[in-house]
Amino acid sequence: MEKAAAHAAPPGPALQAVPFMKVAAETDKVVLTRRQREQLMLIGTRLRLPPRTVIYREGAAADSVFAITEGAVKSYRELRSGKRSVCAFLFQRDLFGLAERGRYRNCTQAITRVTVYRLSLSQLTLLLKRDGDLQFQFLTKVTHELRESQRRAVLIHRRDAPGRLAMFIELMAERNDRATARTRRVPLPMSRTDMADYLGLSLETVSRAAGELVRRKLVKFETLHLAVIVDPAGLAALAAAV
Amino acid sequence: MEKAAAHAAPPGPALQAVPFMKVAAETDKVVLTRRQREQLMLIGTRLRLPPRTVIYREGAAADSVFAITEGAVKSYRELRSGKRSVCAFLFQRDLFGLAERGRYRNCTQAITRVTVYRLSLSQLTLLLKRDGDLQFQFLTKVTHELRESQRRAVLIHRRDAPGRLAMFIELMAERNDRATARTRRVPLPMSRTDMADYLGLSLETVSRAAGELVRRKLVKFETLHLAVIVDPAGLAALAAAV
DNA sequence: CGGGTCTTTGATACTCTTCAACACCCGTGG
DNA sequence: CCACGGGTGTTGAAGAGTATCAAAGACCCG
């Protein structure tokens, strides 16, 4: 566990994405070179933030882009009705804060304690235009996030709550890399309310759906924020049964 | 009408996106230089495709990226249940075909007659790495699409069909630039089924919702594929009442 | 151990989905 | 010119599922 982390995430920002093209090696993920990371560190500041910290608000002047090195962040929007819509959950090696016309479009808030790199937007722009390879990594990363976002849209098409939740758990399991593959444990750092706001369900329905998955012996919950996959095949079948 | 088109879309591919930073000019949209367009034309082929042409299928080997210069395209996924989920509707100056590990992730099909530039992925990659400014345009564009995708996710959070449809019409109106602003006409080239698959509703519900909007005198339909906004404020209010 | 937050559980109402029949548009062929 | 047929869209009635409101229970942190 520590070995992988030490080798994959040396000091400095990192990005996780799947490349456009098929690569020969089993290097499934894009990685930045040491030099690229060092350059990013030069224009960035490392921040450690406690849970619930609001990193920025919708509409705020955007002068920075953020790269997560540790922890979980949610990106959401406040709707007039007082409800929230969670756009994405962001983890290690994710990027956020890509603004529109100098303004952020979402709010972002730390879920757990997080470590992020705050990169100056203007300096980053210059750096990217200068270093075509680095920019290509960013392009790949954003494309990756676009695909993830579209996948979520597919998820929302399901009308049944247990199915949506099953897909969600699989999503989170994927994000947790191979740690889940071995232990079958899936950390769900966000609250039930956040999950509901992401899945487009009420929190009561999420709760009931979770109970249903447990009843069907597909998963169980060691704690509220740690699911264990009891029947991987069954869960996958339900998740795929769109 | 023709004047604007002639000035904004000279020969060659174009991209429409909102920049990260606030720009001084009222140039709201990113535009490619003539030289960049010419470079793209060098590595691309112009294709004219009749309606219903399937441009590529999910899982197919991806060797090209496409830029639309005219017409409408839908990007969708076939679900096991036989249903479809439409990920996005794509128009003039949109980009599609960003692959994952050498495979396309969605199917794309022409809705109307379309003109697209097919760009060789390998050559585009080289070109982008060489031309930092051009690549930055692509980065901006993909980021723009990411935001659009997230916006759709917000849209889906509404449970009421008339509200979803109202948002959809506003979305389409925006895409139609200022043409709608003057004439209040919104072209909806896609079928009701496509709209349903995009909105996460059944087509019957879309039909009923359309009837409801007409009944409330918010819009009317000149033809099935051409909506007219009767009460812009009322429609906007309903669309924003998330 | 206690207060507050978050989660679970229960009953009712509401909206959409589904299934089915019907209307419409348009190109084809008589 | 009109009748026909397929695809597409509309309308109707019954059923399923979730949202909502309300209240009790579990958990965390000080």
CB contact under 8 A, A77 and B154: yes
Q: Are residues A123 and A177 in the same domain?
A: no
Q: pLDDT at position A4, please? A: 42
Q: Which of A62, A88, A132 sits opposite B129 (nearest CB)?
A: A132
Give A 160-199 residues with CB within 8 A of chain B.
none
Give B131-143 pLDDT, tens digit per residue.
Answer: 999 999 899 999 9
CB B159 within 8 A of CB B242: no
Q: Do B81 and B148 belong together in one domain?
A: yes
Helix (H) or strand (E) run with residue A109 in it: strand A107-110
Q: Mark residue B231 as left, alpha or beta (left: phi above 0; alpha: psi -120 to 50; beta: remaining).
A: beta
Evaluate if residue A12 carries a pLDDT over 80. no
Nearest to B207 by CA among B187, B224, B185: B224
Tell me the two tokens of residue A239: 């998740």
Q: Tell me if A109 sits within 8 A of A53, measured CB to CB.
A: yes
Q: CB of A17 within 8 A of CB of B98?
A: no
Q: Is B224 on the interface with A (CB under 8 A)?
A: no
| Mean predicted confidence (pLDDT) in B150-178 | 87
Share of chain B above pLDDT 70, in %: 89
Q: Is the pLDDT of residue A206 over 80?
A: yes
Q: What's the pLDDT tens digit per position in B61-80? A: 999 999 999 999 999 998 88
Asked if residue A169 and residue A110 are part of one domain, the reply reads no
Residue-level pLDDT at A1: 39
Residues 6 or more apart whose Cβ sits within 8 Å of residue B11:
B37, B41
The 10 Å CB-count burial string (b at 16+, else e) for B206-234 is bbebbeebeeeebbeeeeeeebebeeeeb
A81 CB-contact burial (10 Å; exposed 0-12 / middle 13-18 / buried 19+): exposed
3-class secondary-structure state, position B102? coil
Measured CA to CA, the distance from residue B181 to residue B232 in angstroms comes to: 10
Structural domain boundaries enclosing B203: 158-240
Q: From the candidates B27, B36, B65, B98, which should be mutated to test the interface with A, based on the most A CB atoms within 10 A?
A: B98
Tell me how long chain A is: 242
CB contact under 8 A, A136 and B138: no
Confidence of residue B214 (pLDDT cuts 50, 70, 90): very high
Q: In this complex, is the C-beta atom of B145 within 8 Å of any C-beta atom belonging to chain A?
A: yes
Distance of CA B107 to the CA centre of its chain: 15
Same domain, B14 and B66: yes
Under a CB-based contact definition with an 8 Å cutoff, are residues B99 and B55 in contact? Answer: no
- Dihedral pair phi/psi, residue B67, rounded to 5°: -125, 125
Tallying the residues shown for chain B, one arrives at 242
pLDDT of residue B10: 47
- Using the beta-carbon criterion (under 8 Å), do B153 and A153 form an inter-chain contact? yes
CA distance A115 to A118: 10
Residues A137 and A210 in one domain: no
Q: What torsion do the CA atoms of B221, B225, B228, B232 make, to the nearest 10 degrees? A: 110
Q: For A163-203, what is each residue's pLDDT tens digit?
A: 999 999 999 998 887 666 778 899 999 999 999 999 999 99
> Which nucleotides of strand D lie within 7 A of protein CB?
8-13, 17-22, 27-28
Distance CA(A118)–CA(A47), nearest Å, equals 7
Which of B129, B154, B179 finishes a domain? B154
Shared domain for B87 and B123, answered yes or no, is yes
Domain-terminating residue out of A154, A177, A207: A154
One domain for residues A223 and A128:
no
Please state, in angstroms and as integers, the Cα–Cα distance from residue A176 to each residue in A1, B8, B171, following that order: 12, 45, 35
The dihedrals phi and psi of A127, each to the nearest 5 degrees, come to -60, -45
pLDDT tops 70 at residue B4: no
For residues A29 and A96, state if they share a domain: yes
Angle of helix B192-199 versus helix B132-156 axis, rounded to 10? 90
CATH of the domain at A209: 1.10.10.10
Q: Which residue has the tokens 């090209």?
A: B64
Q: Give the pLDDT confidence of A109-156 residue by residue, as tens digits.
A: 999 999 999 999 999 999 999 999 999 989 999 999 999 898 888 888
Residues A145 and A180 both lie in one domain: no
Point out the domain boundary residue: B132, B154, B176. Answer: B154
Q: What is the pLDDT of residue A157?
A: 82
- Stretch among B21-35, B48-62, B147-161, B196-210 having the lowest mean pLDDT: B21-35
For B215 and D23, how far is CA from C1' in angstroms?
A: 41
pLDDT at B11: 60
Predicted confidence band of residue B6 (pLDDT cuts 50, 70, 90): very low
Residue with tokens 């980065």: B139
> Which SS3 state, helix, strand or coil, does residue A77 take?
strand
Rounded Cα gap, residues A184 and A178, in angstroms:
9
Nucleotides of C strand lying within 7 Å of any protein CB atom? 6-11, 15-20
State the pLDDT confidence band at B237, using cuts at 50, 70 and 90: very high
Mean of pLDDT values over B114-121? 92
Same structural domain, A26 and A140:
yes
Say if residue B98 is in the same domain as residue B195: no
Indicate the number of domains in chain B: 2
Residues B73, B84: contact at Cβ < 8 Å? no
Q: How confident is the model over A155-164, as a mean pLDDT?
A: 88
CATH code, domain with A103: 2.60.120.10
| Residue B179: pLDDT over 80 | no
pTM: 0.88
Cβ–Cβ gap A132/B135 under 8 Å: yes
What pLDDT sits at residue A207? Answer: 96
Per-residue pLDDT, B12:
66
* Chain B interface test: which of A28, A150, A203 (most B C-beta within 10 Å): A150
With CA of A160 and C1' of each nucleotide, the nearest comes out as D17
Confidence of residue A8 (pLDDT cuts 50, 70, 90): very low
Q: Answer yes or no: do B136 and A128 touch at CB < 8 A.
A: yes
Average pLDDT along chain B: 86
Compare all CA atoms of chain B with the CA of A159 and give the residue at the minimum distance.
B200
Q: How many helices (H) and strands (E) does chain A have?
A: 9, 11
For the segment A234-240, the average pLDDT, to the nearest whole number, is 92
By Cβ distance, the residue of B62, B135, B157 closest to A85 is B157
pLDDT in tens, B93-113: 899 998 877 899 999 999 999
Say whether both A122 and A201 belong to one domain.
no
Mean pLDDT of B208-234: 93
A149 with B154: Cβ contact below 8 A: no
